[in-house]
């Protein structure tokens, strides 16, 4: 008897510390509801679950939720701190070509010695992201001069582009530097890529610096008015997609020059330009012809892949919509229901390689009737499934649930969404569809993706209700 009392006490303490719930038309007493909501399995605390003298029962229900594909629009890629460049082909997702655009900023006014002689103009990048299976391939990247103004504070999206020169002002071919770790090749991200730019352009800049009447290099404002910026595009041999970190101090453009100083010695100097504060974005051109999702072309329209698989990919706007109406239809027959716990699991996902990983985390956006991300009426904020926490309003917007990928040994996403489902049951959330999106930081700086069998979208609900409700399995 004492063991039973201790277990009941622990359950009630856990409830007060961690749980908050609503009951619609409930005939349960408060004390009994507290006890049941705190403990998933009443049998572990010695409570009968059968018998004519009980006014409650505990149930378990499993749903395999229907889902479809949606091509979302307006994936913002500006000001992400990253430039994506390259080309990658995937039998399931098609081909992606990534092109980046960026301003180049003059850090300080360029004041040079009158006897200065131009040496070279070098663009240098720190890469920190690789997407693709062939990490040992040779990758050719070309640099072009922008012929359109990039407006730093304007939004740019994955479909945006700017005009650039017909001929490149620089190019190079490189391999990622790799090392062997645990018998596999791993890309080293502590390295930089150097791209020599046109000497004709470099000399033109030097001449302007030496001209006392030319104000081009007197300020950054003057410089970006003269030089719109650069575009980075993959050559034919590019087999992966690279992410260049433009916030890192090692990403820079330098004009190297020298002069003879007063001691008759050669003095080597450089003028530094940066990209970290500059406006930038990347464009993703997607060709899905020949893939199982070749028919997915229109925005915000439901599709089914020819292989019946489900797809999610960062950057391209390819998302999966999950339909919870089966849950609502089921609970509409129940007069009084408390959800003890509910878990949404996506997985197992299809096998993936080290450098074609799934996005993590995911965010579950509530869908409106046009299969767009729903917004609040009062302040137009995006509505998401919120963290499953008793202190958080499930109809709010401030604490989106972030579904983390659990890893290679357990290739799935699994998260509690009890508060969300209770809010649906209580009538506080009317919508029954959610859209699976990569988190914002994933969505605007990677092309990570996954495939999922629709039979692996599973919702498991543990709930308490009265004996007047028909038994459910």
pLDDT tens sequence across 428-446: 999 999 999 999 999 999 9
**Given a cut of 70, is residue 120 above it in pLDDT?**
yes
User: Are both 411 and 452 inside the same structural domain?
Assistant: yes
Give the lowest-confidence range in 42-56, 137-151, 178-192.
42-56
User: Are both 347 and 266 inside the same structural domain?
Assistant: no
User: Are both 146 and 256 inside the same structural domain?
Assistant: yes
User: Are both 87 and 41 inside the same structural domain?
Assistant: no
Which stretches does DSSP call E strand in 288-432?
302-303, 310-313, 318-323, 337-347, 362-366, 402-403, 412-416
Query: What pLDDT, in 10s, does the model give residues 224-271?
Result: 999 999 999 999 899 999 999 999 999 999 999 999 998 888 999 999
User: Are both 423 and 453 inside the same structural domain?
Assistant: yes
User: Are both 133 and 25 inside the same structural domain?
Assistant: no
User: Are both 278 and 320 inside the same structural domain?
Assistant: no
For 73, the token pair is: 């629009």
Which conformational region is residue 79 in: left (phi greater than 0), alpha (psi within -120 to 50 degrees), or beta? left
The pLDDT of 176-193, averaged and rounded, is 89
SS3 state of residue 32 = helix
The pLDDT value recorded for residue 41 is 43
The pLDDT value recorded for residue 387 is 97
Q: Which residue has the higher pLDDT, 29 or 384?
A: 384
For 315, the token pair is: 């950057």
Please state, in angstroms and rounded to a whole number, the distance separating the CA atoms of residues 183 and 424: 50
Band of pLDDT at residue 291, cut at 50, 70 and 90? very high
User: Are both 219 and 237 inside the same structural domain?
Assistant: yes
Does residue 140 fall inside a structural domain?
A: yes
The pLDDT of 122-138, averaged and rounded, is 94
For residue 159, what are the domain limits? 82-285
Please state, in angstroms and rounded to a whole number, the distance separating the CA atoms of residues 283 and 376: 29
The pLDDT value recorded for residue 74 is 81
User: Are both 244 and 133 inside the same structural domain?
Assistant: yes
Band of pLDDT at residue 55, cut at 50, 70 and 90? low
Per-residue CA distances from 179 to 134, 187, 193 (Å): 14, 7, 17
Which conformational region is residue 300 in: left (phi greater than 0), alpha (psi within -120 to 50 degrees), or beta? left
The pLDDT of 338-353, averaged and rounded, is 93
User: Are both 314 and 417 inside the same structural domain?
Assistant: yes
Tally of domains in the chain: 3
Does residue 336 fall inside a structural domain?
A: yes
User: Are both 327 and 341 inside the same structural domain?
Assistant: yes
């Amino acid at each position: 008897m004492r063991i039973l009392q201790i277990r009941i006490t622990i359950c009630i303490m856990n409830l007060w510390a961690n749980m908050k719930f609503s009951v619609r038309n409930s005939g349960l007493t408060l004390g009994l509801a507290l006890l049941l909501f705190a403990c998933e399995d009443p049998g572990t605390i010695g409570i009968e679950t059968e018998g004519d003298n009980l006014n409650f029962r505990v149930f378990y229900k499993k749903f395999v939720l229907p889902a479809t594909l949606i091509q979302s629009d307006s994936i913002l890629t500006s000001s992400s701190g990253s430039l994506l460049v390259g080309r990658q082909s995937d039998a399931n997702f098609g081909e992606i070509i990534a092109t980046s655009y960026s301003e180049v900023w003059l850090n300080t006014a360029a004041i040079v010695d009158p006897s200065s002689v131009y040496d070279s103009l070098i663009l240098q990048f720190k890469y920190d992201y690789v997407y693709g299976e062939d990490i040992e391939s040779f990758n050719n990247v070309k640099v072009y001069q922008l012929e359109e103004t990039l407006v730093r504070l304007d939004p740019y999206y994955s479909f945006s582009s700017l005009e650039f020169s017909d001929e490149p002002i620089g190019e190079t071919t490189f391999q990622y530097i790799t090392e062997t770790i645990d018998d596999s090749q791993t890309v080293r991200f502590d390295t930089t890529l150097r791209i020599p730019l046109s000497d004709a352009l470099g000399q033109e800049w030097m001449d302007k610096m030496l001209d006392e009447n030319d104000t081009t290099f007197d300020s950054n404002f003057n410089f970006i008015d003269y030089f719109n910026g650069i575009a980075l595009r993959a050559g034919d041999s590019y087999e992966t997609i690279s992410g260049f970190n433009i916030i890192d101090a090692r990403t820079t453009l330098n004009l190297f020059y020298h002069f003879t100083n007063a001691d008759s010695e050669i003095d080597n100097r450089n003028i530094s330009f940066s990209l970290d504060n500059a406006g930038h974005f990347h464009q993703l051109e997607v060709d899905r012809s020949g893939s199982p999702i070749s028919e997915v072309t229109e925005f915000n329209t439901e599709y089914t892949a020819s292989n019946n698989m489900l797809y999610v990919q960062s950057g391209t706007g390819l998302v999966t919509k999950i339909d919870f109406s089966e849950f609502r239809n089921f609970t509409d027959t129940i007069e009084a229901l408390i959800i003890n716990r509910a878990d949404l699991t996506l997985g197992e996902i299809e096998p993936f390689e080290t450098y074609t990983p799934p996005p993590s985390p995911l965010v579950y956006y509530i869908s409106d009737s046009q299969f767009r991300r729903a917004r609040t009426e009062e302040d137009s904020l995006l509505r998401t499934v919120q963290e499953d926490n008793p202190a958080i309003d499930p109809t709010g917007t401030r604490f989106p649930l972030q579904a983390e990928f659990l890893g290679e040994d357990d290739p799935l996403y699994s998260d509690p969404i009890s508060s969300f489902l209770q809010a649906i049951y209580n009538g506080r959330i009317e919508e029954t569809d959610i859209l699976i999106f990569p988190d914002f930081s994933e969505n605007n700086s990677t092309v990570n993706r996954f495939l999922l069998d629709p039979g692996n979208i599973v919702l498991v609900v543990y709930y308490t209700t009265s004996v007047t409700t028909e038994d459910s399995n």
